Amino acid sequence: MEKLYEKALEAYNNSYSPYSKFKVGASILLKDGNIINGCNVENASYGLSNCAERTTLFTAYTKGYRKEDIEKMLVIGDSDRPVSPCGACRQVLVELMNLDCQVILTNLNKEYKTLTVDELLPYSFNNEDL
């Protein structure tokens, strides 16, 4: 858990967030022991920004990993309580991670809240709805 936290914090420190000033970092522990991390990257056209959770998942997929390879994700932000993923990220997690996969939410004070992907977005829209 500490290594996952450290990697997410490293990504947090690499955040490009000049507009919101709200840094977020994320890390994924893969079943092969590797850790992939990512941060939020903003853009003056806000809709073109990318959250840390999606950056991290997209990087994992780019490297050839898939949902069955992911053990857990940790997300960190500078918030009063453990940071919470936005709705868009929750939808991406539903598609790119197993529903029973753990998502550990935390902050710079190391307060933790652990949920599954399914708990983050119950009754989610998925490929069966198409």
Instruction: Indicate whether 55 pLDDT > 90.
Output: yes
User: One of 2, 6, 10, 53 is an active-site residue; which one?
Assistant: 53
Average pLDDT of the segment spanning 70-88:
97
Tens-place pLDDT, residues 96-121 = 999 999 999 999 999 999 999 999 99
CATH value at residue 75: 3.40.140.10
Active site residue 119: no
Instruction: Indicate whether 128 pLDDT > 90.
Output: no
The Cβ-side half-sphere exposure at 122, using a 13 Å CA radius, reads 2
The three-state DSSP-derived secondary structure of the chain is CHHHHHHHHHHHHCCECCCCCCCEEEEEEECCCCEEEEECECCCCHHHCECHHHHHHHHHHHCCCCHHHEEEEEEEECCCCCCCCCHHHHHHHHHHCCCCCEEEEEECCCCEEEEEHHHHCCCCCCHHHC
Q: What is the pLDDT of residue 99?
A: 96
Range of the domain at 19: 2-129
Which of the four pLDDT bands, split at 50, 70 and 90, describes residue 65? very high
Q: What is the pLDDT of residue 34?
A: 98
Q: What is the pLDDT of residue 94?
A: 96
Distance between CA 31 and CA 29 in Å, rounded?
A: 7
Instruction: Indicate whether 127 pLDDT > 90.
Output: no
Q: What is the pLDDT of residue 114?
A: 98
Q: Which residues contact 129 (CB under 8 A, 6 or more apart)?
A: none
Q: What is the pLDDT of residue 126?
A: 84
pTM: 0.94
- What is the domain count for the chain? 1
